[in-house]
Every structure is written in structure tokens, then in C-alpha cells.
Chain A
């Protein structure tokens, strides 16, 4: 009962508060900040908002690291960490404490200043991305007009931190890893950006909230709006896996070739910063994919059909994949797919990686943009007809693709009437 009340209060607080919930939170709970002299008071409120935000987001990696270990364990038929806490739930916390107490080693021949600075750059950039992701109608740190473009800009700075770390370590593994990472991120930014462009062409806005606003109900989710956005979603998602350097695209830190890539020389808390940033990035790109293509905080059911206020509304919205919990569920599903891929697929070679990007993804992305443009000319307004045609086209396309793929696969796997078998059968 008590818990229910609290959830209800929280929900009311989030829904009814105006644009900037963090600022409202500070004003409600730490009013003394407003009594400071004018410039200091406002600065203090801004700082306090940043602190809330930066304190909440690192909790995500804490869970995700454990989830990754558990997922990998179960995929490999193990049980994973079991000792610390029930089913090993406190393992990451214990590891964090261990990392804090480890020696902070800086290579003697390396560049001390850049070595120290680069983890902070990567960390800051991967957290700044969260400022523009809407988690509910009012849970958004900054409602920027250029929301998605800001996210792209900030995440493109991560490359600089990676190069800096690789160069400052003065180690060949680090430098090679940094080079690979830079080449990979710069290349995959193109299909990623073009994928975002297809969405922006349909919505005609860069604002994240406006992108979500048009996606009320599953038929209006941008992934199903046109057949081209359906393709764009997959290109976008695969490119973002490459963008965050995860298997099968984890060449920058390929253990079997480069020890650990650009963070080979890092230890202790600085290593932990890279680690946290990696998981935060993973969550961020999944949240962006969920926002752009999978309806964001709009659920399966159009929001007019559900009660908005109260605990009931909150739960109903969560069940239909809407609201704060809905975004979390969609995002975590995508994160799970990333983990699943990591522990299933082998790593690509460098040339395969670049081929995939430049020879397949970029042409497909341009085709999508052309297609969405033509679609917009044929159906200037979204109607029931356009959505039905789109979904029919998607289903037809899937049947075709899987039919062709299935046939070619079954051809290649069934052994051609091999002489061995005939021999073994006769003998």
C-alpha cells in the first residue's frame, strides 16, 4: 500500500511537473539554493540537476554489467557469478570496490596529461547523450530543438577521447586499437546518420519529443510507417552496435589481437570509467533506437484509450509498453539483443567490417532516403491506407527475403550427394 502510494506520487510528480523535472525536483527539495545571490543560485540549481542526472545514470551500467555476465553465462551453459549476494546480484558492486582500491598506474613513457584526461572525455560525452533522450512525456533533461542532431554531435566526440587514450598510452596495442576504433566509428556514423535522416524526413523535426509525439499506437510507430523505415531500423541498429564497438564489431578491443585495444594500459578507476561509459553507450543507443523507431514512450495502444492518471494508468501504460517503464522495457530488449549477438557471433575482419559499411549499409541507406522521399510525395498525410500498404509491403518483403534466404541456406547446408556418404553406406 505504502509502495503503491509512492509510485502514484512519483508518477503524478513526473506527469504534472512542467518541462524540466530535475529543476523542479531541486526547487521542491532544496529551496535554500534559491536564496543564494543571483548568478550563484541559478548556477547551483543547474549543477544540482547535473548531479542528480549523473548520479542516476551510472546505476544503469551497474545492472547491465551483471546482466551481461548472466546472459553470457547462460548462453554458454554456465551459471555466472553466484557468490556475492543472492544469485550474484551484488557482484558488480564488489568489483567496483575492488577497482577503486587498485593501483592507478600511468605508463612512464606515456603522455601523462592526455592519459589522465581521456577517460573523462569519453565518460562525459557518453553521459551528455542522455540529456536529450525523452523517457516520458515530461522526463527529459533538455527539450532541445535539435535533439537527435545534438546526440549525434556529442557522440562523435567520443572518437577524440579514444584516439587520445590510445596515443597517450604510448603502446602499440593501444594505438592500433584507437586507430581501428576511429576508422570504424567515423565510417559507421554515415549509415547511422542516414538512418536518422529517414526518420527526420518523415517527422520533419529534429526534436526528440516531436519524433515521439507522432508515434501514438503501434500502427504509428515509425518502424511500421513505411517499408523503408523498417529497413532503416535494422541498418540503424546494426550500425549503432558498430558505433559502440561491440562484438561482432569489437575490433578496437579484439582480445586475441590487441590485448584490450585502446584501454590496454589503463587500470583501477580509470579503467572502470571506460567500462561504465561502454555500458552507458550501449544503453543510450538502444534508447535512441527505441525512441526513433519503436514509439518511445508511446505504447502499443493509442494513449487516448488508456487512463492517464493514477497507479492504474501507470501500470496499464507499462504493460502496453508506454511511459517510463515502457521505454525501459523496449530499451532493455534491444540491449539484450546486443548481448545475445555478442556471445553468439564471431568477430569480423577489418576488411569485412568496412565492406559491410561502405558497400552495403550506405547504398541501402541512400535507397531508404529516396524511398521515404517518394513515399512522402505519394502519401503527404498519414492515412489508414498508407499504413496498411506499408505493413503489407513489410510482410511481403519479409516472406520474400526469408524464402530466398531459406532456400539458399538449405541448399548450402544439405550436402551434395557426397561420394563419402555413398562409400560409407556401401561399406
Chain B
């Protein structure tokens, strides 16, 4: 099989994604799982670049690696005893977990097979900035309502966080 360098890098990223994801679910140490998740999220960002979704790739890194993972690690490190916690699987979980994963796998499979022409990996080609299009989609077209709902959700979360951390509430 003839591989051009872009395909080579693409398969490297794919391998990295899957490999680190396997580590996330199999490893017993929760901190190691979190760091393996970082590799997974990073290589998913790499895959976004191959789909010419550069803005999405950078967002993925900022939100998931720079934000959510840091919060996860904060939670783990601030909770005493959670560092030595060994993750275990109960027997009953295996069956239901398997069922849920099979359903999700089927869903993903149907999406993959229904997506037309998904192997465009020509990264070198200069591309239109995706940001204009994203902006128009969010502010003008069909995604205005979900965008506003998400912003209200975030506002509620923000107010909730401010309320919890206030002194008077905590003292009661």
C-alpha cells in the first residue's frame, strides 16, 4: 500500500487515539487514566485537523485539555485517599456496560457508513477560514437557539458556583 506522509501521520494519530483510550479504560490508577485521557483528547484534536476543522481542534484542546482535565485532576488531587484508590469492575456492571457500549457502537457505525466521502486528508491545501462559517451558523442560521440555551445553562452554572462559594451561605 502506497502511503503519503499525511496518511502516515493520520494513522499515527488514529493509533494514538485508540491506544490511549484503551489505556484510559483498563488502567487501575486514576491519575494515570486522566493523563492517558489527555493523550486521547489531544490526538482527537489532531484528527479534527485532518478533517479541516482547525477551529474545532483548537477548541477541543482548550476546553478539554486546558479546562476539563485540569478540573478532573484538581478534584482527584484535592480529595484525600482518591490517589490510592484502585478502580475495580463489579461483575453486574460488565453485562449492562457491554449492552450500552454495543448500542453506542452501533450508532457510531451507522453514522460512519452514512457519511459520504470522509477520507479527505489533504491538510496541505490552503483552506478558507472556518471561523466565518461557524459564526454565521451560530448567529444567523439554525443553531441560534441551541447556542442561546447553552449560554443560559452556563449562566445558571456560574450563578450557582458564585452562590455556593459565598461566605454567608457556607456558614449557615
Interface of A toward B, CB cutoff 8 Å: 38-39, 42-43, 46, 111, 114, 144-146, 149-150, 152-154, 156-157, 159-160, 163-164, 167, 175, 179, 182-183, 186, 189, 205-207
* B58 with A159: CB separation less than 8 A: no
Interface string of B109-151 (1 = CB under 8 A from A): 0000000000000000001111100000000000000000000
Point out the residues of chain A lying under 8 angstroms from B61, CB to CB: 153-154, 156-157
With A146-B54, A153-B58, A153-B61 as known contacts, state yes or no: A182 contacts B74, CB within 8 Å: yes
Point out the residues of chain A lying under 8 angstroms from B93, CB to CB: none
State the Cβ distance, B11 to closest chain A Cβ, in Å: 11
The 10 closest A-B pairs by CB, nearest first: A156-B66, A153-B61, A153-B58, A145-B129, A39-B5, A42-B5, A149-B58, A153-B62, A146-B54, A43-B5
State the Cβ distance, A40 to closest chain B Cβ, in Å: 8
Point out the residues of chain A lying under 8 angstroms from B131, CB to CB: 145-146, 205-206
Whole-angstrom CA separation of A110 from B66 in the bound complex: 24
* A157 with B66: CB separation less than 8 A: yes
Point out the residues of chain A lying under 8 angstroms from B127, CB to CB: 145
* A153 with B66: CB separation less than 8 A: yes
Whole-angstrom CA separation of A241 from B165 in the bound complex: 27
Which residue of B is nearest A200, CB measured? B131
Which residue of B is nearest A160, CB measured? B38
Point out the residues of chain A lying under 8 angstroms from B78, CB to CB: 179
Q: Does B102 contact A (CB under 8 A)?
A: no
Point out the residues of chain B lying under 8 angstroms from A207, CB to CB: 129
Point out the residues of chain A lying under 8 angstroms from B128, CB to CB: 145
* B62 with A152: CB separation less than 8 A: yes
Which residue of A is nearest B71, CB measured? A186
With A167-B31, A182-B70 as known contacts, state yes or no: A38 contacts B58, CB within 8 Å: no
Point out the residues of chain A lying under 8 angstroms from B32, CB to CB: 114
Whole-angstrom CA separation of A391 from B98 in the bound complex: 65
Of the A-B pairs whose beta carbons lie under 8 Å apart in the complex, a sample of 20, sorted by A's number, is: A38-B4, A39-B5, A43-B8, A111-B31, A114-B35, A145-B130, A150-B58, A152-B62, A153-B45, A153-B59, A153-B61, A156-B67, A157-B42, A160-B65, A164-B35, A175-B77, A183-B74, A186-B67, A206-B55, A206-B131
Q: Does B51 contact A (CB under 8 A)?
A: no
Point out the residues of chain A lying under 8 angstroms from B31, CB to CB: 111, 114, 167
Point out the residues of chain A lying under 8 angstroms from B57, CB to CB: 153
B54, B62, B70: the one within 8 Å of A163 (CB): B70
State the Cβ distance, A110 to closest chain B Cβ, in Å: 12
* B65 with A157: CB separation less than 8 A: yes
Whole-angstrom CA separation of A179 from B131 in the bound complex: 34
